[in-house]
Each structure stands twice: as structure tokens, then as C-alpha cells.
């Protein structure tokens, strides 16, 4: 988010208690959860058809 101008307000020291391997696994798990959630969502086109169609 740094490239979008969003900066952390604090540093969570819990990160220091995890190994690099564990952190990488946590990030991979998050990536998988995000991908799974995105796959379950309708396409943009389908969402518009289902929710934004003009009344006839």
C-alpha cells in the first residue's frame, strides 16, 4: 500500500516473534483465501445485470 500513499501508523512487534518461513506461509494462506473469495464472486458484468439494471 506504500505505493498508493497509505502508510502504517505503527509497527506490530508480533511480527518479530514469527520466522520468515511462517510469515511467508501466512501470506500465502491469505493470498489463497483472497483468491477463493474472488472466485466465488460474480463477474462485474453479472453483478451489474443482477443489481443495477434499469427498471422497465
Q: How confident is the model at residue 11, as a pLDDT?
A: 84
Query: Could you tell me which of 7, 8, 29 has the C-alpha nearest to residue 18?
Result: 29
Domain chopping of the chain, boundaries: 17-56
27 in Cβ contact with 19 (< 8 Å): no
Amino acid 43: pLDDT: 95
Confidence of residue 55 (pLDDT cuts 50, 70, 90): confident
Is the CB of residue 23 less than 8 Å from the CB of residue 15? yes
DSSP of the chain: -GGGT---SS--GGGGGS-HHHHHHHHHHHHHHHHHHHHHSPPHHHHHHHH-PPP-
pLDDT tens digits for range 10-54: 888 888 899 999 999 999 999 999 999 999 999 999 999 999 978
Amino acid at each position: 500500500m506504500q505505493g498508493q500513499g497509505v502508510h502504517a501508523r505503527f509497527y506490530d512487534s508480533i511480527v518479530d516473534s514469527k520466522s520468515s518461513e511462517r510469515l511467508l506461509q501466512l501470506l500465502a494462506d491469505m493470498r489463497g483465501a483472497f483468491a477463493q473469495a474472488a472466485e466465488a464472486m460474480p463477474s462485474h458484468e453479472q453483478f451489474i445485470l443482477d443489481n443495477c439494471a434499469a427498471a422497465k
